[in-house]
């Protein structure tokens, strides 16, 4: 900063004395030691003293800037809107056999073991302003497990035997009879069963938000079609319970109504994008159609389903 200077162009003893300047640092001004006042600046218009001119200007006080943090952005999904989601899941599955002969059901149940299952699909639904939503879609799950069974059955072999009655070398009479031989068979069978399930879920859910984190629950029913693609199964025959190729089995496809309950944990990547992890339990409730005395398997699945959802424009 500059202070008022003495008259410019003063001559002392016949010599020109240039005006002097006094400078102050900004820290001194801010601390209050020096108050800014109008100052005079000398600008030389010409090298000769009589052409020197004075120019005056005002200096405004320096005000320190105050920096404030921007308020946090609240991430939430658009209410009353349509949404779509891609799903993928992992879990553990085991099956319970029902219907049919008690002996066959017991033998089929002995072949079941808990096994992993994986699923993928898509969902679409609508969410209301209160956090309630309805959804449906299509999912496919695949599973595989080892089939082991020891077939215990009896075989019968019939033979025709001719009897001759002779005296010396003369045949007096003859007759033919049937001789049956029964054998007990123990036949171990091993195979890898592959099962595919198509599912159409119809779910109702509710969620709430805390910042970017989302919490909720849902439940619903589903239509399921389970088909064994390869492997072995058991059937009841006249000789006993035996293994057969699953492709030839009459009960290789089952239609069921299932139920699902789940908890939803989500995180909003954006107001339209979100990721969800849903621990869930799904079980078969009852068959849609099943022939009389025909056994069927009911699946029970415990696992987690992941979703990547995208919210479309709000519904009107």
Q: 55 with 129, same domain?
A: no
Whether 214 and 90 share a structural domain: yes
8 A C-beta contact, residue 259 and residue 219: yes
Among the candidates 68, 97, 113, a domain finishes at 68
- Residue 172 falls within a domain, yes or no? no
Q: Are residues 115 and 200 in the same domain?
A: yes
Count of domains for the chain: 2
φ and ψ at residue 39, rounded to 5 degrees:
-120, 165
Give domain status of residue 183, yes or no: no
Residue 53 sits in the same domain as residue 85: no
Domain assignment present for residue 156? The answer is no
* 176 in Cβ contact with 160 (< 8 Å): yes
Q: Is residue 179 part of a domain?
A: no
Place of tokens 């007759």: 175
Q: What is the CA radius of gyration of the chain?
A: 46
Q: Say yes or no: 130 and 245 in one domain.
A: yes
Which letter does DSSP use for residue 106 in this model? H
Chunked into runs of 10 residues, the chain (316 residues) has average pLDDT values of 45 46 45 47 49 50 59 54 96 91 91 95 92 96 93 80 78 79 83 96 95 95 94 86 85 90 95 94 88 84 97 70
The domain in which residue 143 lies consists of 81-151+189-314
- Same domain? 101 vs 247: yes
Residues 195 and 258 in one domain: yes
pLDDT in tens, 224-278: 999 999 999 998 887 788 898 888 877 788 999 999 999 999 999 988 999 999 9
Residues 12 and 139 in one domain: no
**Residue 265 maps to a domain:** yes
Tell me the two tokens of residue 73: 């952005």
Whole-number pLDDT of residue 40:
46
- Locate 46 and state its tokens: 């010409």
> Of 47, 68, 89, which one is at a domain's C-terminal end?
68
146 and 270 assigned to the same domain: yes
Q: Say if 182 falls within a structural domain.
A: no
- Looking at the structure, do residues 262 and 236 belong to the same domain, yes or no? yes
Indicate whether this model's pTM tops 0.75. Answer: no
* pLDDT tens-place string over residues 195-227: 999 999 999 999 999 999 999 999 999 999 999
In the block, tokens 């005006």 appear at 19
Q: Does a structural domain hold residue 181?
A: no
């Amino acid at each position: 900063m500059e202070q008022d200077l003495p008259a410019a162009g003063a001559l002392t003893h016949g010599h020109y004395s240039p005006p002097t300047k006094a400078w102050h640092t900004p820290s001194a001004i801010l601390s209050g030691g020096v108050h800014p006042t109008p100052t005079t600046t000398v600008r030389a218009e010409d090298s000769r003293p009589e052409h020197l001119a004075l120019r005056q200007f005002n200096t405004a006080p320096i005000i320190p800037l105050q920096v404030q943090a921007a308020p946090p952005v609240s991430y939430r999904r658009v209410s009353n809107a349509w949404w779509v989601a891609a799903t993928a899941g992992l879990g553990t599955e085991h099956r319970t056999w029902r219907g049919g002969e008690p002996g066959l059901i017991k033998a089929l149940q002995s072949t079941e073991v808990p096994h992993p299952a994986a699923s993928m699909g898509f969902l679409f639904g609508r969410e209301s302003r209160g956090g309630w939503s309805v959804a449906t879609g299509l999912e496919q799950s695949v599973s595989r497990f080892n089939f082991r069974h020891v077939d215990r059955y009896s075989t019968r072999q019939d033979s025709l035997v001719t009897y001759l009655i002779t005296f010396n070398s003369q045949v007096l009479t003859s007759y033919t009879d049937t001789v049956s031989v029964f054998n007990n068979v123990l036949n171990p069978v091993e195979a890898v069963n592959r099962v595919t399930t198509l599912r159409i879920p119809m779910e109702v859910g509710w969620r709430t938000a805390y910042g970017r984190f989302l919490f909720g629950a849902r439940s619903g029913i589903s239509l399921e079609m389970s088909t064994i693609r390869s492997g072995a199964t058991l059937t009841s025959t006249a000789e006993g319970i035996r293994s057969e190729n699953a492709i030839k089995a009459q009960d290789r496809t089952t239609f069921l109504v299932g139920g699902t309950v789940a908890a939803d944990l989500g995180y909003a990547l954006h107001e339209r994008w979100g990721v969800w992890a849903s621990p869930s339990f799904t079980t078969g409730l009852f068959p849609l159609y099943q022939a009389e005395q025909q056994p069927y398997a009911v699946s029970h699945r415990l696992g987690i389903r992941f979703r990547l959802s995208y919210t479309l424009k709000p519904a009107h």
